[in-house]
Chain A
Amino acid sequence: MELNFVSVDGNSKNYKIAIGILAGITLLGLICFGISYFKGHYLFGSSNVIPWGMPIVLAIYFIGLSAGSLILSTLVYVFGQEKYKPIGRMAVLLAIVLIFGAMISIAVDLGRPENFWRLFMFFYWNNMTSMFAINGILYGGYFVISIAYMGIILSGSKVWMKRWGILAIGWASLVHMGTGAIFGFMAAREAWFSPIKPLEFLTAAITSGVALLIVVLVLTMKFTGRDLRKDMVTSLSRLLTIFICVLALLIFLDKMTHLYAPERAAVLYSLTGKYSWIFWCLQIGLVIIVPLAILFNKKLKSIKWILVASLSVVVGVFFERFFLVIPQAAFPQQYYPGHIEGVYGAIGSFALTPVEMGMSLGIATTLGLLFMLGLKFMKALPEKTAEELAAAASKAAPPKTEEAVKTDIPAGTDGTPPVENKPS
Chain B
Amino acid sequence: MERWGMVIDLDKCTGCQECTIACKEENNVPHGSPEEQRRRQDPFWHKVIAASEGEYPTANIEMVPMPCMHCDNPACVQVCPCKATYRRNDGIVMQNFRRCIGCKYCMVACPYGARAYNYKEQEDVEYQRIDPPLRRDLIGCWPFPHRAHGMVEKCTFCFHRIEQALMEGKQIGTEVIPACVEACPAHARTFGDLDDPDSEVSKLLSNRTSIRLREAMGTKPKVYYLTK
Spell out A's residues near B (CB within 8 Å). 37, 39-42, 46-49, 51-52, 106, 109-113, 115-116, 118-119, 121, 125-127, 129-133, 136, 182, 186-189, 329, 333-345, 348-349, 351
Contact of A51 among B50, B78, B108 (CB under 8 A): B108
On whether the beta carbons of A342 and B40 are closer than 8 Å, the reply is: no
Some 16 contacts from A to B, beta carbons below 8 A apart, are A37-B150, A42-B120, A110-B150, A111-B103, A111-B152, A112-B150, A113-B101, A129-B78, A131-B79, A335-B49, A335-B64, A335-B213, A336-B51, A340-B50, A342-B50, A351-B39
Asked if B62 is at the interface of the complex by the 8 Å CB criterion, the answer is yes
Q: Can you add 4 more A-B contacts, CB < 8 Å, to A41-B150, A130-B80?
A: A47-B40, A48-B41, A48-B115, A343-B40
Q: How far is the CA of A345 from the CA of B47 in the complex (A)?
A: 12
- Determine whether the beta carbon of B119 is less than 8 Å from that of A52: no
Given the contacts A40-B118, A40-B119, A51-B108, A119 and B81 also touching, CB distance less than 8 Å: yes
* Smallest Cβ-Cβ distance to A187: which chain B residue: B217
A26 to B167 CA separation, bound complex (whole angstroms): 55
Main SS of the interface on chain A? loop
Contact B99 A118 (CB under 8 A): yes
Task: Pick the contact of B64: A111, A132, A187, A336 (CB < 8 A).
Answer: A336
B105 surroundings in chain A (CB, below 8 A):
130-132, 182
- Residues A126 and B111 in contact, CB atoms below 8 Å apart: no
Q: Please tell me if the beta carbons of A112 and B117 are within 8 angstroms of each other in the complex.
A: no
Q: Is the CB of A112 within 8 A of B52?
A: no
Report which of B78, B81, B151 forms a contact with A136, defined as CB distance below 8 A: B81
Categorize the interface residue count of chain B: 35 or more
In the A-B complex, the 7 residue pairs with the closest CB atoms: A111-B102, A111-B150, A132-B81, A40-B120, A338-B51, A51-B104, A40-B149
- Quick one: which of A111, A115, A121, A338 contacts B117, CB cutoff 8 A? A111
Cβ of B32 to closest chain A Cβ, rounded Å? 9
A-B contact count (CB 8 A): 171
Say yes or no: B41 contacts A47, CB within 8 Å: yes
In-complex Cβ contact of A125 among B39, B82, B148 (8 A): B82
Is residue B7 within 8 Å, beta carbon to beta carbon, of the partner chain?
no
CB atoms of B83 and A126 under 8 A apart: yes
Given the complex, which residues of A lie within 8 Å of B109, measured CB to CB? Answer: 186-188
The CA-CA distance from A111 to B121 in the complex, in Å, is 12
User: Are A189 and B108 in touch, CB under 8 angstroms?
Assistant: yes
Q: Which residue of B lies closest to A132 (CB)?
A: B81
Contact (Cβ within 8 A) A187 B75: yes
**Max chain B Cβ within 10 angstroms of own Cβ: one of A187, A334, A351:** A187
